[in-house]
Chains A and B, each alone.
Chain A
Amino acid sequence: MTVSRDNSKAVYQGIKDAGIRSISALPETWLVYLLQLASNDPEMTLIEVAKEEEAIGIATGAYFAGEKHVLLMQNHGFLAAINGIVSLAQSYKIPLCMLIALRGHWGEPYPWHTRGGIVTEEVLRALQVPFEYARDPALVGRQIREAYTFSQSSLWPVALLLTRDLMED
């Protein structure tokens, strides 16, 4: 299985079509083409972090500045960012639009991804973070736009889970 270049383009186009011009990210395999597209795009500000919790702060700064921003991370990075999500975003009513690579789920061959994959949805539910699954490249643009809109109206973190169906060929 390889990462889908075409579907990565569809996700990136969805980000652009939503008017988003700022991305924070920590690189991971499924996000590699997305990050290449972002770093080669002169219209896009890309900030790569050392650990995902930083991105919660960066997204907050971008929101204060009126910059449309999305966070790209793997689900294990989401798990690493939880205190920032709770103590910063939820406590201060900061919207977050998180695109999360859902590793360790159906079809996962790597054992080290599976624990995180199994608990991701339950952790999202425990944190009361609404989430949807992105599976279809024809729909993902609309889903990104709607996730962003919902985060802004609810002043709350929202997650779109990027699934294997979407991210691998």
Chain B
Amino acid sequence: MQRAKCIEAIYPELHDKLVVTNMGACAQELYDLGHRDNFFYLQHAMGLASSIGLGLAQSLPGVRVVVMDGDGSVLMNLGTLATLARYKPANLVHIIFDNGSLLSTGGFPSHTADGTTDLAAIARGAGVPHVDSVSTAYDFMEAAADAFARAALSVIVARVDATGPDHYGMHFQLPENAFLFKRWIAGNIKGSEE
């Protein structure tokens, strides 16, 4: 299964959601489908995409927040799964694309590469109420549709190939992405005005 195809499949559903991605390939593949100002790409600070998602979800309970993450990033901040489970934001969907590789930083195998470490099991053990583990495009789309419709914290671990885009680059600088994202929220979500 290709991560880019998974992102493409849910892209039409993302227009009214707050989307936070981790760095590298995942960010670029979403961006390449067409940037929207409700997308925030965390190009470094690995592991914190889901923490940003938690801060958003707790502050804006009426809005669906979607975090697109990777195995390498989640492995750098495993505590986040326990923190998510403790607060169980009902509006948060945490998608972990697990390619078993630190693809964007050189392609080294990650701890999940040979199946020893099971991130879905870790999420369940942390106490996340809904955890799906998928490896086909059909199952991913079904899990994502269920998670988007469900009023409960959901984690989807999607096993994908260790492939990424052949180019990197965006039309804005990092702070500009943050400014546009914050402005989109202020303009489109009630209760976010300062």
Residues of A within 8 A of B (CB): 22, 24, 45, 47-51, 53-69, 83-84, 87-88, 91-94, 155
A42 CB to closest chain B CB (Å) equals 15
CB distance A66 to B185 under 8 Å? yes
CB distance A66 to B175 under 8 Å? no
B51 CB to closest chain A CB (Å) equals 3
Residues of B within 8 A of A (CB): 18, 20, 40, 42-45, 47-60, 77, 79-80, 82-83, 86-87, 174-175, 177-179, 181-182, 185-186, 189, 191-194
CB distance B192 to A65 under 8 Å? yes
Cα–Cα distance between A48 and B82 once the two chains are bound (Å):
11
A129 CB to closest chain B CB (Å) equals 16
Find the A residue at minimum CB distance from B82: A50
Known contacts A66-B185, A91-B174, A92-B175; A60/B82 CB under 8 A: no
How many contacts between A and B, using CB within 8 angstroms? 123
Residues of B within 8 A of A65 (CB): 55-56, 59-60, 185, 189, 192
6 further interface pairs, Cβ-Cβ under 8 Å (given A57-B54, A63-B182, A66-B185): A54-B48, A54-B77, A57-B55, A59-B55, A60-B52, A66-B194
Cα–Cα distance between A45 and B61 once the two chains are bound (Å):
12
Partner of A53, one of B56, B77, B185: B77
Query: Which 10 residue pairs spanning A and B have beta carbons closest together?
Result: A61-B55, A57-B51, A50-B79, A65-B59, A57-B48, A58-B55, A88-B45, A87-B44, A87-B45, A61-B56
Most chain A CB neighbours (cut-off 10 Å) among B20, B48, B60 = B48
Find the A residue at minimum CB distance from B43: A91
Residues of B within 8 A of A56 (CB): 45, 48, 51
Cα–Cα distance between A50 and B181 once the two chains are bound (Å):
27
Cα–Cα distance between A64 and B77 once the two chains are bound (Å):
21
Residues of A within 8 A of B50 (CB): 57
